[in-house]
């Protein structure tokens, strides 16, 4: 679905989870796209990838800033907490058995703070 999807379209689709994907924009720009607030109130898991993670962090009270270095290319993400969103999709395992995901990255922004909740 597009970034400007309506709440009615999401409700009609009846997702069991929502993925906010990456994109060419920067969340540090004033008029960059944001996820609609109802995405975070839908009662389903929300998984942010690159830009999606950055806008989610920013919109939920965290902080995103431009990085001094751009990152581009292959990387591996270590899954540190068990989640149904990523369970069973690992590409490999660390020496101590933690799942690794192979990803392609291209970004220049970074999340520097997240809002802590209890």
Residue 117 has pLDDT above 80, yes or no: no
Cite the beta strand spans of the chain per DSSP E.
Answer: 18-20, 46-48, 63-78, 92-93, 99-113
Q: Please tell me the predicted confidence (pLDDT) of residue 2.
A: 79
pLDDT digits (tens, 9 = 90+) for 49-77: 889 999 999 999 999 999 888 888 898 98
CATH class, domain 7-113, is alpha beta
CA 32 – CA 52 distance, rounded (Å): 12
| Percent of the chain clearing pLDDT 90 (strictly above) | 45
**Residues above pLDDT 70, as percent of the chain:** 99
Q: pTM of the prediction?
A: 0.72
Distances from the Cα of 10 to the Cα of 6, 36, 45, 52, 62, angstroms? 7, 11, 14, 17, 25
- Burial of 77 (C-beta count, 10 Å sphere; 0-12/13-18/19+): middle
Domain map (residue ranges) of the chain = 7-113
Instruction: Round the CA-based radius of gyration of the chain to a whole number and report it.
Output: 15
């Amino acid at each position: 679905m597009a970034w400007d999807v309506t709440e009615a379209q999401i409700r009609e689709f009846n997702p069991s989870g929502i993925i906010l994907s990456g994109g060419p924009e920067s969340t540090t720009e004033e008029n960059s796209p944001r996820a609609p607030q109802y995405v975070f109130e839908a009662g389903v898991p929300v998984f942010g990838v690159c830009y999606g993670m950055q806008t989610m962090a920013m919109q939920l009270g965290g902080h995103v800033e431009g990085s001094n270095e751009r990152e581009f290319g292959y990387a591996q993400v270590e899954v540190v907490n068990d989640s149904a969103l990523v369970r069973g999709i690992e590409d490999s395992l660390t020496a101590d058995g933690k799942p690794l995901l192979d990803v392609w990255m291209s970004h220049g922004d970074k999340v520097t703070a997240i809002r802590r909740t209890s």
